[in-house]
Each structure stands twice: as C-alpha cells, then as structure tokens.
Amino acid sequence: MKKLILLLLFIPLVSFGQTVVGDFKIDNGEIIWQKIYDDSLNITSQDLVLKPIGLPFSTTIYLKQVSKAKLIVNHKDSRTRLTVRDIASIDNEVVTVYGVSTNPNKPTYAHEIYGRKGAFSKKFIKKDGKILNDIILKEINSLISNDDW
C-alpha cells in the first residue's frame, strides 16, 4: 500500500515540468519549434510572417496577434532540420493610463507567455501549443511547396 501511495505522489512530480510538447521544446529558456524532414528541402533561413487565420473564437489574444518568427535551416546528408525561434506577437493597440502609454510595437515572445521556470504552462500543453503548431506548419508548408499558382 505504501508503494502505491508513493507512486501516486511521484507521478505528478515527474509530469509537472514538461520541456518537450510535440514539435516544441524549451532551449535555454526559449520556446522553439523544431522538426527534421528526411528530404533535402530547397529552403533557406529567413524571417517568417505568421498569419493566424481561422482561429477558434476562444483563442488567446497572444495567438490572435502572433506575427513573426525566425526560421533557421540546417542541412545534413539528405535531411533538413527546421528550427523556428523568436516566436513573437505584436500588439498594435496603444493603451494610456495616467499619462503613460504602452509601446504598441514591442514584441511579446512565446517564452514570456508560455514558459514558466523552464517548463511549459498548462495552457500551452492543453490547447495553445497545438494552435501555434498549426500556424507555424501552415507557413512552413507554404514555403516548401512554393507554387507560383
């Protein structure tokens, strides 16, 4: 019985600090998206323009305003590793309180919203991670296909 109680207490401690969720992981306190393709993709490192289109109504403001990231491409043998860093949301709305205004073009990075003490927040694990993954994949797939039609 003691072993069962210890096991039940141990499981939440192990699962509490997740540092990998799907294609996302925490690297030096920053949330990055990384995926390895078994093909040699004809793509270069560049700044990404993320377009959060068709999101559910209950989506967080951060995801509705996510707009940019940096794509880093590495080739090795016949494989390609894509890493997306500096995932940022930019709030264009100016709020003035007692004569002090917010900076409307200051980016808010994903690790500031979803990273808590080197682990993902519960909101990211349950819902927002999948939505952000879909936004990034949509942009990556448009770069890979690169059809002029």
Residue pointed to by tokens 């093909």: 39
Encoded tokens for 7: 């096991």
CA-to-CA distance for 112 and 30, rounded, in angstroms? 9
Residue 14: per-residue pLDDT: 47
pLDDT in tens, the chain (149 residues): 666 555 555 555 444 556 678 899 998 889 999 999 999 988 999 999 998 888 888 788 888 889 999 999 999 999 999 999 999 988 766 666 676 666 667 788 888 888 877 888 888 888 899 999 999 999 999 988 865 55
With a CB cutoff of 8 Å and minimum separation 6, the contacts of 22 are 129, 130, 133
> What are the boundaries of each domain within the chain?
19-91+102-145
Residue 3: per-residue pLDDT: 60
Helix (H), strand (E) counts: the chain: 5, 11
Residue 98: per-residue pLDDT: 73
CA-to-CA distance for 127 and 62, rounded, in angstroms? 13
What separation in angstroms does the CA of 106 have from each of 63, 92, 112? 15, 9, 13
| Contact between 80 and 93 (Cβ < 8 Å) | no
